Amino acid sequence: MELHLASMENITCWAFRSLCQGITDSYTGIFSMQYLVRRSKAWREIDTFTSKERQWIQVATSKEQECREFMARLKRELLADSEKNNVFGVQLNLSCPSPNIIKIGQGPALIKRTVRTIALLNALLSQDNFKVSIKTRLGLNEFEVKQRKIFALLNEIEKIQNPNFSHVVIHFRHAKEPSYAEYNYEFLKEIAEYKIPIVINGGINSLRDYNNIIDSIKNKKNIIGIMIGRAALKNPDCFVQFSNTMNNNHLEERGLNKINQDFNELCKIHPPRNIYLEKIKEMCEWNKT
């Protein structure tokens, strides 16, 4: 089973991603594609150094031409900086709830704009070097969930034939819900019927949570993995039980002191920017001392 460490802005730097044992995939925090296309210094923030897992760069855009320019530039930048040339793929963000993103037609504003979203995915797929995935919510708001906008989008995604299209991550909430709201896995049974690899995300803290979510789903074969965010902030070893049980690994859980030590060592290898160090200190109990 695929085990994805969620994209977390100003947190999932290389050191944090490398700290998480057992993961198969990790993501940078969200980047504005325009920023990466227009500003050379933005590329200093890309930290896809050698890793055990597949690394994804997560981007937000609403422009097809920008996607093509970005993919060409990504290839050039990585060839010029071989240390960072470990990018498995690019993920299009349709999930960030920030009003600033939504008001410029990016992120979850795209969920209902099926034609535009498919055009963006096809533009990202117009190359053969990187895989492409998408992370979406159930809709921009409750109304869109009731209108089943996610199904209109999945209907079109299912038609993509390009083998470089990898998977859809679904964050099982709409974009106006607060982070403490209950997750809504009601649609999962129907979603699992699509011939699309699906990674489920939201409120999964343990193997028991995962089993509770998928127990009633008969056809599980398209659910290829899970994505975890906040539980990894509490304990970066939250993937270990999954990895040992589902992927037949024999990883050992570390205590939180050891995790902190390991993180500090990783920070010496590739120092994260201060904004990451500050946010990790703020959000992760184990990094307080």
Ligand X SMILES: Cc1cc2nc3c(=O)[nH]c(=O)nc-3n(C[C@H](O)[C@H](O)[C@H](O)COP(=O)(O)O)c2cc1C
Distances 69 to 80, 122, 228 between C-alpha atoms, Å: 16, 13, 31
Question: In the complex, what is the shortest distance from the CB of residue 151 to ligand X, in angstroms, rounded to a whole number?
Answer: 20
Comparing CB distances to ligand X, the nearer of 72 and 88 is 88
Residues 94-123 interacting with ligand X (rule: CB under 6 A): 95-96
Interface pick for ligand X out of 106, 201, 260, 287 (rule CB under 6 A): 201
**Does 287 contact ligand X by CB under 6 A?**
no
What is the 3-class SS of 176-213, one letter each residue?
Answer: CCCCCCCCCCCCHHHHCCCCCCEEEECCCCCHHHHHHH
Continuous H helices in 135-174: 142-146, 149-157
Of the candidate residues 3, 6, 36, 153, the single one contacting ligand X (CB under 6 A): 6
Beta-bridge mates of residue 251: none
Q: What is the smallest separation between the CB atom of 155 and ligand X, expressed in angstroms? A: 23
The distance of closest approach from Cβ of residue 8 to ligand X in the complex, given in angstroms and rounded to an integer, is 4
String of contacts with ligand X for each residue 217-246, x by CB under 6 A: -----------xxxx---------------
Asked if 93 and 59 count as a contact pair (C-beta separation under 8 A), the reply is: yes
Sites for ligand X among residues 262-281 (CB under 6 A): none
Q: What is the spatial distance between Cα 64 and Cα 72, in angstroms, rounded to a whole number?
A: 13
Residue with tokens 């390991």, as numbered in its chain = 262
Q: Is 9 in the site for ligand X (CB under 6 A)?
A: yes
Cβ proximity to ligand X: between 123 and 238 the closer is 238
What does the CA dihedral 13, 237, 192, 221 come to, rounded to 10 degrees?
110
CB of 71 to ligand X, least distance (A): 19
Q: What is the DSSP secondary-structure string of 94-124?
A: E----HHHHHTT-GGGGTT-HHHHHHHHHHH
29 touches ligand X (CB under 6 A): yes
User: What is the DSSP secondary structure assignment for residue 247, as one 8-state letter?
Assistant: S
Under rule CB under 6 A, residue 7 binds ligand X: yes
93 lies in the binding site for ligand X (CB under 6 A) = yes
60 binds ligand X (CB under 6 A): no
Closest CA to 226 of 235, 217, 214, 234: 214
Binding status of residue 135 toward ligand X by CB under 6 A: yes
Binding site for ligand X (CB under 6 A): 6-9, 11, 29-30, 58, 93, 95-96, 135, 171, 201-204, 228-231
